[in-house]
Structure 1
Amino acid sequence: MEKFKTVKELNDKATELKNAGDLSELIKLAEESGLEKEDAEDYMDSDDPEDCLCNATMAAIAKLKLEEQDLHLESQLKDWKDFIVQMLTDYPVDHDGEDRDTLANAVFNPDKKLLDVLAAGLKLSSENRIEVDKRIIQAARLPESAAFIGMCGRDDLKKIIQDYYLGKQV
């Protein structure tokens, strides 16, 4: 599978395939990029010269979907990935003056990996371990070893995501 550094490169390849009338390769490109077959079909059927296969947010969410599948995410880690998707769809609601595609283009960048964000969140959770009151552990009928749990709140996770994708490496 071809790795694209930018959403523009992905869309340029899609345009090339569309202009060649190669729907099967366009579908393959879309699916390998985490997009839906219907995205490729809709793009192929469009007569609007302004249309493209996907926008930056779609491409970023598709990349995250592929990474989620590769990492077999479940539970809390899947929730963290979904929080990034939420940030992508809400962005730049609380980031006045920034281009709407800033975060999406950063997430799409193949040099940036969901794995690194999840690892940073997990590390922070481990560092923030607390001891749960033994009465809660007993009421839950859990072993005493379950008394120590790690936490990473949404604000901390948001900072990790922004620092990693938009700023300093975590």
Structure 2
Amino acid sequence: MLRKILPREECAKCRICCSFDSYDLWETPVIPTKLASRILQDYRPEQEFIKKDDYFLFKMEKEPDIDLYYCSMLDQESGCTLGDDKPFDCKIWPFRIMALNDTRVITLSTVCPIVQKKPLEDIQAVAKELAPEIFKYADENPGSVKPYLSGYPIMVVEDKKYKDTLI
């Protein structure tokens, strides 16, 4: 989905998006019910989830002696064990869908070291290209829309009056 700005090989080496400290646990991927069932059936029957409204979050254990939580689907040797079934949040990272007041926006997580090296106009072009799919997913999965957090650069603003128009 993001190959134009994030080559698979570079992503696989980094894995910064698969770890969270206490401050950014809010960024853990939203897991729709259907995907949670598939994970339990096809990938990891012992996986525990945290129930939030009509979706789930992975239950992750804090690493000993460090404020760090790794995604439970991460294999340190081979990467994400979910392959193409990874959560939508993971598929679009470093983009995030957020709510700024009454407007949905697509933002950018600037902690991605690969994205930090890319021209902003290239990143924004990819965000605009993906926007219809991201906003459609958000329509179907409102729990995936997180409150806007100051400091996240806004790449795309959804125009409520003309949903297909991006500014």
TM over 0.5: no
Structure with the bigger percentage of helix: 1
Structure with the bigger percentage of strand: 2
Give the TM-score, by structure 1 length.
0.28
Decide which structure has the larger Cα Rg and report it. Answer: 1
Larger relative contact order (CA 8 Å, sep ≥ 6): 2
Give the TM-score, by structure 2 length.
0.28
